[in-house]
Chain A
Amino acid sequence: DGGITQSPKYLFRKEGQNVTLSCEQNLNHDAMYWYRQDPGQGLRLIYYSQIVNDFQKGDIAEGYSVSREKKESFPLTVTSAQKNPTAFYLCASTRDRAGGELFFGEGSRLTVL
C-alpha cells in the first residue's frame, strides 16, 4: 500500500546531540513537508520541498535542517541549535506543488533529556 513512513516512532536523545528523523513516501508525490506539533499550538511548518533538490523554510526553521536528494525521501535533522526540540514531528506530502490534500505519516516523538 502507498503511504508515508516515518521512523523512528519514538526517539530519546541527550541535549546537544543532532538527531535525524526519516520520512519516506511511495506515493510519487512531488511536495513534502515537515511539521512540529506541540500541545495547544497546532501544526507549525518547519520546512517544505516542492521539488527534488529544492526546499523552503517554514515558520519555525531555526535549529532544523533538511535535504531532498530523492523524490521519495525528505529527512529532517534537529540540530543542537534548536532550543526546545522535544515535540511530536509529522511528515506529509501532496501530489503536486499547487497544493491539495496532505497525506501524513504516523509521526515521530522526540524527547530530549
Chain B
Amino acid sequence: AQSVTQPDIHITVSEGASLELRCNYSYGATPYLFWYVQSPGQGLQLLLKYFSGDTLVQGIKGFEAEFKRSQSSFNLRKPSVHWSDAAEYFCAVEYIFGTGTRLKVLA
C-alpha cells in the first residue's frame, strides 16, 4: 500500500535561513509526487510536482524538491525563508498524504 512519511512535525527557522522538509514514501512504481502548502483554515495549494524526467523540480514561491529513487525521498528545499512561508506543508504520493510539517519562521 502507498504511504507517505513526514518525520518532522514542527520545524522552526529564522527568516533568511535555508529550509529542508523531509518526505519519504512507499510505492510500488514510479510515483507522482507532490508538495502542497496550507495556510490556517484554508484549502491546500500546490507548490510543485514530480511525474518524470529531471529529478530536481522547481515550484512556486522559490521552492524546489529533489526526487531520489534510491532513498524513496522527495525533500522540499528553499534557500532563504521568508516570514510569509510560515504554514503547514504536506507531501503526497498521488492522493495519499503525509501527516504534514508545520513551519514557524522567526523574525
Contacts and interface: CB of A to CB of B under 8 A. Distances in A.
A45 B95 contact: yes
A101 B34 contact: yes
B69 to A, nearest CB: 18
A46 B104 CA distance: 29
A64 interface: no
Contact of A106 (B32, B43, B100): B43
Contacts of A4: 43
B20 interface: no
Interface string A83-95: 0000010101010
Contacts of B36: 102
Interface centre among B34, B43, B90 (most CB of A within 10 A): B43
A42 B34 contact: no
A99 B95 CA distance: 7
The A interface, classified by DSSP as helix, strand, loop or mixed, is strand
B44 interface: yes
Contacts, number: 52
A54 B9 CA distance: 35
Contacts of A90: 43-44
B84 interface: no
Contacts of B43: 4, 90, 92, 104-107
Given A99-B94, A102-B95, A104-B43, A42 B100 contact: yes
A107 B96 contact: no
A20 B92 CA distance: 27
A48 B95 contact: yes
B97 A43 contact: yes
A105 B45 CA distance: 10
A94 B95 contact: yes
A40 B32 contact: no
Interface of A: 4, 33, 35, 40-45, 48, 88, 90, 92, 94, 99-102, 104-107, 109
Interface of B: 6, 9, 32, 34, 36, 41-46, 49, 90, 92, 94-100
